[in-house]
Amino acid sequence: MSGTAAEQRAPRQISQWTLRLACGQAATSAAIPLNASVGAVATAELSHHASMAGTSVGIAMLASVSSLFVAGRVSDRHGRLPVLTAGLALLTLGAVICAFAIFSSSYPLLVLGTIVFGCGQGPSMMHRAAAADLYPIEQRAHGVGLVVSAGAIGSIIGPLLGSGLVLIAAALSIKEAAAPWFLVPLTAIVALILVRGIAVDPRDVARNLNQYFPGSPPEPEHGEPRSRRELLALKPARAAITAAALIQAAMVGVMGVTAVVLHRNGMSTAVVGLFISAHFLGMFGLAAPLGKLTDRLGRRRMILAGVVVTGIGAIGTSLLGSSIVILPFFFLLGLGWCASWVAGTTMLADITTPQERGRLTATNDQIVALCGATAVISAGFVLDRFGFPAVGLTLTALLVLGIIPMLRLKEPQIGVYAD
């Protein structure tokens, strides 16, 4: 596959659509971290149990699992854009409910808002899957990386804007913890405008890639799309999803309770938001160069590297959780996740047709979210009983299991896998 699609620049139209997806990802990423910072603290305070802090992220992830059952099928049948639109709408509704829950000091209402927010979380984060549709195999990881990297902008600006809303709320004698949630409707409107401006649904672009990249082979068609069970029977799919699920568990489990640990040590909501920003910078900031490396070195190598880096970040963050020294480890925790997320998304796209890609990506996200939810809910109880170091060490030990199926997988050619 050398010389043609691998070397040519993306057509202007594809670049413009990628830019829209990237900006939409940035706007969405400004909203989602709120549940890990403001949401976790509010959950602990309104439930009157510090051990419940992790349930904020956990409940949202479980809700995301449910919504992705529908999102994957809709994405393959009707396109990626309707799924993104619905996800952003649910994010907005959930955020508004959470804000009013804090105003009224109602824990049940906060749980309801978190569930609605979570239902929008999974579908609204499928920008990367749409980006995979826009590029041939030789450039696919770079395209995914460009969109994922835009999340760094949102992950930095979001908490900063949220902190600004906290200051405004304090000046107006309004409950500070509720203010950041009102950022979500603003970012969602921006993302909707950008995404709905894409003229051709990415799924339909994927069906006719050789029209946009002359010389690239047409996407393979398997007739009737394969079922979820058939797709999960593929060795690359099993390896990629296993690694993604365990990395997510380690990353979210540690990240989900870090805000509570920092808050216990006297750090304000605004300062905690800055720490979360550093973590999300690691998650998204270097995705574009990591995507290029994935296209050059292979998906398998990048996923293995992601496992190692995530483990280092999890151990360092949990052992030094009471100090600002956790900052570089908190960054590495996100960076390892980023490498595996870009490479794993690309691997799943490599082995599917446009009519199957949505359901396998959604299935991956369901399994990942379920493992993440289990980890973060468990992390709250482990934190309360055994301390922060036990959280990081336990999750890192489980993370080692993600290496085994990936080591057994062979990738003789970039994007081509052998049993």
pLDDT classification of 341: cutoffs 50, 70, 90: very high
pLDDT classification of 371: cutoffs 50, 70, 90: confident
Phi/psi class of residue 387: alpha, beta or left (left: φ > 0; alpha: ψ in -120 to 50)? left
pLDDT classification of 210: cutoffs 50, 70, 90: confident
Amino acid (1-letter code) at residue 44: A
- What pLDDT does residue 328 have? 86
Q: How far apart are the first and last CA of the chain?
A: 21
| Cβ–Cβ under 8 Å, residues 343 and 302 | yes
What tokens appear for 220 in the block? 């393979």
Largest CA distance in the chain: 63
For range 201-208, the mean pLDDT: 89
Residue of 225 and 167 predicted with greater confidence: 225
CA angle 65, 202, 339 (to 5 degrees): 60
What tokens appear for 146 in the block? 């460009």
Domain extent listing, the chain: 12-210+226-418
- What pLDDT does residue 163 have? 65
CATH of 12-210+226-418, picked from 1.20.1440.120, 3.30.420.40, 1.20.1250.20, 2.40.30.10, is: 1.20.1250.20
Q: What's the predicted TM-score (pTM) here?
A: 0.80
State the average pLDDT for the chain.
Answer: 83
pLDDT at 248 over 70: yes
- What pLDDT does residue 324 have? 75
Distance from C-alpha of 65 to C-alpha of 60, rounded to nearest angstrom? 9
Three-class secondary structure of residue 412 per DSSP: strand
- What pLDDT does residue 103 have? 83
Phi/psi class of residue 410: alpha, beta or left (left: φ > 0; alpha: ψ in -120 to 50)? beta
Number of Cβ within 10 Å of residue 186's Cβ equals 14
- What pLDDT does residue 3 have? 45
pLDDT at 233 over 60: yes
For range 322-342, the mean pLDDT: 87
Distance from C-alpha of 1 to C-alpha of 393, rounded to nearest angstrom? 43
Most confident of 143-147, 150-154, 263-267, 388-392: 143-147
pLDDT classification of 348: cutoffs 50, 70, 90: very high
> 67: which residues sit within 8 A by CB, 6+ positions away?
87, 90, 118, 119, 120, 122, 123
The three-state DSSP-derived secondary structure of 155-210 is HHHHHHHHHHHHHHHHHCCCCHHHHHHHHHHHHHHHHHHHHHCCCCCHHHHHHCHH
pLDDT at 2 over 50: no
pLDDT at 89 over 60: yes
For range 155-167, the mean pLDDT: 69
- What pLDDT does residue 400 have? 86
What tokens appear for 368 in the block? 């990942």
| Cβ–Cβ under 8 Å, residues 216 and 210 | yes
Amino acid (1-letter code) at residue 396: T
- What pLDDT does residue 53 have? 60
